[in-house]
Structure 1
Amino acid sequence: MDKVKVVVADDHSIVRLGIREVVQRDPRFAVVGVAASPSELVQLCREQAPDIVITDYNMPGDDVYGDGLKLIGYLLRQFPQTRVLIYTMLSNNLILSSLYDLGVSGVVLKSGDIDEIRVAVDTLQHGRIYRGAHMQAANSVLASGDDIQGRIASLSAKEFEVLRHFVSGLSVGDIAQQLNRSVKTVSAQKIAAMRKLEVDSDQALLTFCVKANLFQ
């Protein structure tokens, strides 16, 4: 019986080695490649056609494929037969739950036990979705209405920029620092964007952005 082919991607070598060791303890799995960047990951997917990809959520510094939702969305579209498992430090349940809406097959937190990866890949190998104990059920809803593109088009460039950073997992304070704006200004721009998109909570805003492929 052929082994399940796995590709591992993380920008930290010690993490890559750790994941590889854990996965290959199970003789059913074979790590056929490791990547240190999104570009390397995409190339391995093209060359190896892996059954499972285990990838970090944040791998900055790649201008071609980016990271976060942009990279994950690309993987899911271009390699639909490959199941994607996210291994991340991210702990924002709004974003984690939305990753499932996007189509990932599982999420494992780096803050937990690395051996959880073995449980996750076993779950994926059996064709199921892996949801760790850290995950809470979340509604998969897209803001209703008949003019979604019109709402998106009404966003200003600065509001769009704030949303892009919000979807990547940054807080209002982090976004303010990143964009060199005041927290008050960023907060006002986020609220204005929510009003234009007709959403009334962070969960609804995040889900709208993901389901509408706003940053793909």
Structure 2
Amino acid sequence: MQMTPECPVRIALLDDHEFVLQGLTVQLERLPHCRVVGAFAQSRGLIDALDRLEVDLILLDYALSEGDADGLPLIRRLRRRHADKRILVVSGRDDVVTVNMILRAGAHGFFPKRQGARDIERAIQRVMRGHVYLPDKLADELGQTELASLTPREWEVLRCFLDGMSVSDIAAKFKRSLKTVSAQKSAAFRKLGIQSNAQLFKLQGTLMEQGGDEGRD
């Protein structure tokens, strides 16, 4: 899509913080190529409005208030129901695994909250031109990390480990050798781009949200 003042990109915003929502609306309305057609504090309001509003781009916060649909399930739902619309996700969580899963869920770009506000126009332009937007550092990290889908057995090992089971417990549960379970855990760590148990537990919410349904033997 060619962005011009005569044909601005029509944007729907979703953020559960009213102050952020108002500030982002004001900022985007100052850009000659952008027009905010809706600003929502809850995902239900956005979903209902998308059936009646003409929207080119959905700019949404990754994590919303407790009890509200957000994250990967929301991105997938929007992609299923509104495949013609572009999605740009904003979040304070910008680790490689989370960003990778956001893109795999169907988002067309990721904008870290810590990034300068002046870069938002460039992000919107890139997404609306049919490209994926990532900050340079994140793009480099994703390119250097092997993030292939985990196999079902690797997901099993991670789930059990996150539930507090030891390698010995997991081996006994699935009747595998200690060597096999350790190798599966190591393979999962390599694919996720992490090196320690502490890093794994930091990603627990994202991994459980993903659910492992993309893994294949």
TM-score (norm: length of structure 2):
0.68
Q: Answer with 1 or 2: which has the greater Rg.
A: 2
1:39 is paired with a residue whose SS is helix
Contact 1:35 1:41 (8 Å CA) reproduced? yes
Structure 2 vs 1, CA of residues 32 and 81 (structure 1 numbering), >3 Å: closer, same or farther?
A: same
Identity of aligned residues (%): 21
1:119 is displaced (CA, Å) by 1.2
Distance 1:187 1:74, change over 3 A: farther
Say whether the 8 Å CA contact 2:149–2:191 is kept in structure 1.
yes
Q: Paired residue for 2:213? A: 212
Q: Structure 2 residue aligned with 1:93, among 73, 93, 96?
A: 96
Q: How many residues align?
A: 180
Could you say which residue in structure 1 is the equivalent of 2:44? 39
Matches of 2:190 and 2:25, distance apart in 1: 34
Structure 2: tracts of 5 or more residues without a match: 1-5, 175-180, 193-206
Which digits, 9 at most, give the CA deviation of each residue in 1:1-28, with x for residues without a partner?
4321100110111111222122222222
| Offset at residue 210 of structure 1 (A) | 6.7
Tell whether the 8 Å contact from 2:146 to 2:191 is kept in structure 1 after alignment: no
8 Å CA contact retained: 2:14, 2:40: yes
State the match for 1:142 in structure 2: 149
Spell out structure 1 runs of 4+ moving beyond 6 A: none
Helix, strand or coil: the match of 1:72? helix
Partners of 2:149 and 2:33 lie apart in 1 by 39
1: CA distance, partners of 2:29 / 2:37: 10
Residue by residue, what CA displacement relative to the aligned partner does 1:108-150 show, whole Å, maximum 9, x if unpaired? 1112212221111111122211111231224452235xxx5xx
- Equivalent pair of 1:19/1:114 in contact (CA under 8 Å): no
Q: Partner letter of residue 164 of structure 2?
A: V
Q: Which residue of the partner structure matches residue 195 of structure 2? A: none
Give 1:106 shift.
0.9
Q: Distance in 2 between matches of 1:211 and 1:78?
A: 23
- With the length of structure 1 as denominator, give the TM-score of the two structures: 0.68
Distance of 1:21 and 1:73 partners within structure 2: 28
Q: Is the 8 A contact 1:22 1:117 kept in 2?
A: no
SS state of the match for residue 59, structure 2?
Answer: strand
Aligned to 1:71: 74
Distance 1:113 1:47, change over 3 A: same
